[in-house]
Structure 1
Amino acid sequence: MAHRLLRRERTCRRSDSHRLGEGGETSFGASGRRRSPSARCGSCCQVAGQKERGPVIQALFEAMRPYQWVKNLLVFAPLIFAQKLYDRPSQMGALVAFAAFCCVASGIYLLNDLMDLERDRRHPKKKNRPLPSGRLSPAVAGIAVFVLVGSGLGLAQWRGFLILPLVYFLINVAYSLKLKHLVILDAMCIAIGFLLRVYAGGVAIHVPVSSWLVLCTFFVALLLAFCKRRHELFVLGEEEASGHRKSLEHYSFAFLDQMIAPLGALTVMAYAAYTTSPAAVANFGPKRAHLLVWTVPFVVYGIFRYLFLVHMRSEGGDPTRLLLKDLPTLLNILGWMGTSLWIVYF
């Protein structure tokens, strides 16, 4: 950005010199004093600098992937199912956990984009991201990584759950450097990231996390990860996919479909078993635990709808965008949330 401002300043000076050489009028300030060319040039470059900063901030915010913060809503799951939704200290703890993971996750997205810069420039969709397209400089992105990750870890330290976002950060660094090129382990890393969010939500409000919640989260996160790999194969083609990500050369549509189908079934079975488990009865009482069974159809529909979008419409490359833009899925999630809240709290 600095070299562009310097170029504009030189242009301003040449323009002022040219006008003065032709006998053009010299501008005057409000007091009637003559304004020098350098003063006019300074104001011109100040306006140019403000115009430059706007797109940079916009590009940085876009690269932070704020729409991906939806994933961090998982930190509120322990708050809801522990029946502490109206407890002020627990609310504050969950909000801090949410903010901490938003900061760390955005820093990781920027770091991953920096590491994959050359590969992303050859990708049909990722080339339009702020860093590969040149709208955001690597220097600005690098500074933002330190600020975001440092802020997130600082918030976590304040609430006493530093180890969880720190492990999340380290796993994602290892993922960016090596693990994303290892078949199956690449998807497992993504799933573990979801689990760490859930555990952070529990530690931040000082409640234990249900093993059933852990199982459901792990299965559905692994399902989303393999569906994402399937979409990458579809977009890039099985022959060219390995050039973008080494692990993709070991995946095939047949293999991924064999992984996706049982994970969908396991997610439904784990959730259904939870609604009828002794743990649910102990947490919510016999009457409310019995009513939780009525939330199972929402989970079944949500899994089936997502598999329909993946297999019949070849979507799933960005699960967060897909969940937010597909109206039936969004309404189903809101229906599940509303029904669950009504059963647990009313």
Structure 2
Amino acid sequence: MLLETGMAFVRSHPLSCLKPFLWVMQGKCTLKEKLAQSTEIDVSLLPYNTAVLDLLKLEKLAGRHIILATATHHSIAQRIADHLELFDEVLASDAKTNLSGHRKRDLLVTLYGKEGYDYLGNSSDDLIVWESARHAYIVDPDRGVERRASKLQKTALVINTPRAPVRDWLKALRLHQWMKNLLIFVPLLAAHKIGDISLLVKAGIAFVLFGICASSVYLLNDLLDLADDRHHKTKRNRPFAAGRLGLLAGILVFPVLLIIAFGGAFLLLSPAFVGALLAYYALTLAYSFSLKRKMAVDVIALALLYTMRIIAGATALALTLTFWMLAFSMFMFLSLALVKRYAELRDARKKGHKEKTRGRGYYPDDLEMISSLGAAAGYLSVMVLALYIHDNVTVELYQHPQIIWMACPLLLFWITRIWVLTHRGEMHEDPVVFAIKDRTSLIVGALFCLVFWIAA
């Protein structure tokens, strides 16, 4: 809960994110109290361990006195107890006492006597509490805790929740989203230099480094969006929101990935690529902290984040970006960003919601306007493609530029289909990820590339 309130504070007070460091200098009690006072945690959505709750219910039915004894601040602990309705008493930290380790043991021994209580815990701080307990109940213990606890010869029960850490980390890092970074290769294709091995290697390095940076962003975003994710029908299953991965692990891993990404970019690629990566990361932070909750600004920021991948590819390869490429990508990705918002608003309207969507700047009644704007942006991208065919540079690059006209109906079909499926409620994920998995989209994409290949 200390980490949870800490991330909630950073999310709601990004310009004051250094305050917790000042509070911790005044003591852990002060830190916990200030964070508890400055944040609002919805205790009804916390990821409770159902095996533990079932155990407590059985013990309560047996007539046992059950206490929530926790280092969490008392205000949050009391709300958790009120929500679960399982505890007869709450012992928790306050402004003067951090109730952990020997302080918790001393209080329990004072109240109930040595070996006058059973204690359920999971961390090394709990070992000293188990020393004076009658029985030790161990739940999902930290590394080495179960072995050390067994030496006390008081273990009554060990509860280990089935976990798949590798799968959860892959999901948290969003490796499937790395497919978006294939946009880095677009400048290479547009310049007809895909056969240049040295440039291809550079593009591959840029792809990997950009993916590592993006994964760092996804971790940070999940840590900041715990409350919003738990209110979402699918995002609540994300590893951090669901409690399958510890917050501390995420807090430690995301800066390491960031260092790897920027360190690799600095050593292996051009300063211009480092600048593009920095611009992408800065825009992502702005989106996570603020822009995603601003009407219209959010979708433009999303379109820019996609376009930044193309810009990053051009800077990594020292290739020139054309007006047509940037214009096409902005309109196309604006349309896809609006697809995401439409899908969210449609779900909200279907549930009968009329208030502003949580964490967004839209109301369900904005649905029709979002649809109009999205379809218009998509069709504008087709117009840009059509104008590109008659550009002097295009005539020089392609032997048969007029054949590129065949790409226009393909793109019109795909955009129309995406919006019709979204209108029907069949768009359940990021439209780019959907396109990668969708057979029809893959066929259209292959035909689209074939047109340009024939034109060349």
- TM exceeding 0.5: yes
Q: How much identity, in percent, do the aligned residues show?
A: 27
Which residue in 2 is equivalent to 1:190? 302
Give structure 2 stretches of 5+ with no counterpart: 1-121, 124-140
Which residue in 2 is equivalent to 1:56? 165
Q: Distance in 1 between matches of 2:194 and 2:384?
A: 24
Cα drift, residue 317 of structure 1: 3.9
**Superposed counterparts of 1:1-346, under 5 Å:** 3-9=141-147, 12-13=150-151, 55-157=164-266, 158-160=268-270, 161-237=273-349, 239=353, 242=356, 244-249=358-363, 252-284=366-398, 287-315=399-427, 317-344=429-456
Q: Secondary structure at the match of 2:353?
A: helix
Q: Structure with the greater relative contact order (CA < 8 A, sep ≥ 6): 1 or 2?
A: 1
Cα drift, residue 181 of structure 1: 0.9
Shift in alpha-carbon separation, 1:12–1:91, aligned structure 2, 3 A: same
Give structure 1 stretches of 5+ with no counterpart: 19-47
The one-letter code matched in structure 1 to 2:420 is: F
Kept after mapping to 2: 8 A contact 1:227/1:317: no
Kept after mapping to 1: 8 A contact 2:332/2:377: yes
Cα drift, residue 342 of structure 1: 4.3
The one-letter code matched in structure 2 to 1:8 is: E
Which residue in 1 is equivalent to 2:29? none
Shift in alpha-carbon separation, 1:242–1:150, aligned structure 2, 3 A: farther
Cα drift, residue 7 of structure 1: 4.8
- Please, what TM-score do these two structures have when normalized by structure 1? 0.82
The one-letter code matched in structure 1 to 2:185 is: F
Relative to its length, the structure with more strand (as a share) is: 2
Kept after mapping to 2: 8 A contact 1:194/1:221: yes
Cα drift, residue 174 of structure 1: 0.9
Residues paired across the two proteins, number: 310
Shift in alpha-carbon separation, 1:17–1:244, aligned structure 2, 3 A: closer
- Please, what TM-score do these two structures have when normalized by structure 2? 0.63
Shift in alpha-carbon separation, 1:314–1:112, aligned structure 2, 3 A: same
Kept after mapping to 2: 8 A contact 1:127/1:133: yes
Cα drift, residue 251 of structure 1: 6.5
Q: Distance in 2 between matches of 1:343 and 1:154?
A: 40
Q: Distance in 2 between matches of 1:247 and 1:107?
A: 25
Bigger CA drift: 240-249 or 188-197? 240-249
Q: Deviations over 1:186-209 (max 9, x none)?
A: 011111111111111111111101
Shift in alpha-carbon separation, 1:12–1:338, aligned structure 2, 3 A: farther
The one-letter code matched in structure 2 to 1:141 is: G
Kept after mapping to 1: 8 A contact 2:276/2:315: no
Q: Distance in 2 between matches of 1:17 and 1:142?
A: 32
Kept after mapping to 2: 8 A contact 1:89/1:205: no
Cα drift, residue 13 of structure 1: 4.6
